[in-house]
Amino acid sequence: MSILKALDNEQGWLKAGFLGFPKSGKTYTAALLAIGVRQHLKMKGPVCMYDTESGSNYIADMVEGRTKQKLVGIRARSFKELMQTAKACVAEKVSVLIVDSVSHPWRELCDSYLTQLNDKRKNKNLPPLQKLEFQHWSAVKCLWGQWSDFYLNSPMHIIICGRAGYEYDMARNDETGRKELVKTGIKMRVESEFGFEPSLLVEMSRDQVPDGNGGWKIKRKATVLGDRYGLIDGKEAEDPTFDFFLPHVAKLAKGKHAPVDTENRTETGADTEGNTEWERERKARTILCEEAQGLIVSLYPGQSAVEKKAKVELVEQCFGTRSWTAVESMDSGKLRVALDALRKHVGNVQEKKSDDDVPV
């Protein structure tokens, strides 16, 4: 039976993200979106907030006034409490979870890993590390992967807010001819891959514009960096309301849930040294070919035309090919059989030569 099946729009849960610099309107706009989603889909559960910056103090009255329910949640920053809060939201049928800011649990996870790593190094009288090194990031990202999988696959509306940071790259200065570090864009300050996970990703910015009376006023602008439905992708709005995001929300297939299978694992065959079956096969072929070359050279150590011809004929006799590249490409099973034939041939020749050398 085929594993393939028809795929339809079965995304029933909003996975949104806001990034921006301080005071750009991330928290307020996220709250408006959460309230709007709850009302549009006629949900009964409360709005929850994992609050790392005390932003809940400023939206609690608005959430209660519009939903007639208290804003619930926790004020914390640890990755552990983020996961506990998220799982509790599913169990207690929360309507929408707001995580503000997701940058803090990521930073806390990195700091905790470094602290605990240095504690273990101290016990072994090793100097402390000032920052995580390349070989540590795989483990940290694996831990963070628990949240990424939950965010994408949980049957719950989740809105994340993250602090913005600049992306940098080296570029050539046309005037000086030197390479300089320049800003190339803005990204969410969180684990690099997670910053692109939201199906609706919005950048918030704060602009100062004339108020028409000789003064200035502040406008918050939303720019949609990514809408996987393609309905509001690239669009902008000043002081956005829920209606701006409604085209995306309206496309959600209410009541449906189609998580990606994250439990099925590929059997890599890795051994205690971390070598996979492919690596072990490659190593075995290398060893077998080296052994074969050693046996051939033991019979024909010279480079004369006669010996070169004899080597080629011996390779063809035992391996079935005149190409050494083809020999190196054989799987280890065939190489072992051919190597056994080569050993027997070399042994017979050496034995005959030994008999011929015995004085009469």
Domains of the chain: 15-250 (3.40.50.300), 277-354 (no CATH)
Say whether pLDDT at 305 is over 80. Answer: yes
Per-position b or e across 117-144, b if 16+ CB within 10 A of its CB: beeeeeeeeeeeeeeeeeeeeeebeeeb
69 — pLDDT class (breaks 50, 70, 90) = very high
Inter-residue contact 18 to 202 (CB < 8 Å): yes
SS3 category, 179: strand
Non-local (6+) Cβ contacts of 177 within 8 A are none
How confident is the model over 350-355, as a mean pLDDT? 75
Taking only the tens place, the pLDDT of each residue in 216-265 is 888 899 999 999 999 999 999 999 999 999 999 999 988 888 777 777 77
Ordered alpha helix ranges (H), the chain: 26-40, 56-67, 79-91, 103-123, 137-153, 242-250, 277-299, 305-319, 324-329, 332-357
- AA identity, residue 37: V
Task: Give the phi and the psi of residue 358 in degrees, each rounded to 5.
Answer: -70, 125
Taking only the tens place, the pLDDT of each residue in 132-142 is 898 888 889 98
Residue pointed to by tokens 């929300």: 249
Task: Name which of 204-218, 239-253, 313-327 the model is least confident about.
Answer: 204-218
SS3 category, 43: coil
Say whether pLDDT at 360 is over 90. Answer: no
What percent of the chain shows pLDDT beyond 70? 91
Do strands 96-100 and 47-51 pair parallel, antiparallel, or not at all (unpaired)?
Answer: parallel
User: Within the chain, what is the greatest distance between any pair of CA atoms?
Assistant: 124
Cα separation, 210 vs 96, in Å, equals 36
Say whether pLDDT at 322 is over 80. Answer: yes
Taking only the tens place, the pLDDT of each residue in 155-175 is 999 999 988 876 656 667 666
Taking only the tens place, the pLDDT of each residue in 86-135 is 999 999 999 999 999 898 999 999 999 999 999 999 999 999 999 989 88
Taking only the tens place, the pLDDT of each residue in 26-46 is 999 999 999 999 999 999 999
Packed helices 103-123 and 79-91: angle between N→C axes, nearest 10 degrees? 130
User: Residue 164's pLDDT is what?
Assistant: 82
Retrieve residue 218's tokens: 């502040």
DSSP β-bridge partners for residue 222: 204, 237
Residue pointed to by tokens 């004899």: 310
Cα separation, 60 vs 27, in Å, equals 11
Inter-residue contact 159 to 99 (CB < 8 Å): yes
User: Residue 359's pLDDT is what?
Assistant: 55
User: Residue 273's pLDDT is what?
Assistant: 63
Determine the length of the chain: 360
Task: Give the phi and the psi of residue 123 in degrees, each rounded to 5.
Answer: -65, -25
Q: How many CB atoms within 10 Å of residue 300?
A: 15
DSSP 196: G
User: Residue 256's pLDDT is what?
Assistant: 82
193 — pLDDT class (breaks 50, 70, 90) = confident
Q: To the nearest 10°, report the CA torsion of 332, 335, 339, 345.
A: 170
239, exposed or middle or buried, with CB in 10 Å at 0-12, 13-18, 19+?
middle
Retrieve residue 179's tokens: 């390479």
Q: What share of the chain is helix, strand, coil (3-state, %, to 5)?
A: 45, 20, 35
How confident is the model over 310-339, as a mean pLDDT? 92
How confident is the model over 277-301, as a mean pLDDT? 90
Inter-residue contact 62 to 84 (CB < 8 Å): no
User: Residue 107's pLDDT is what?
Assistant: 92
Cα separation, 328 vs 18, in Å, equals 54
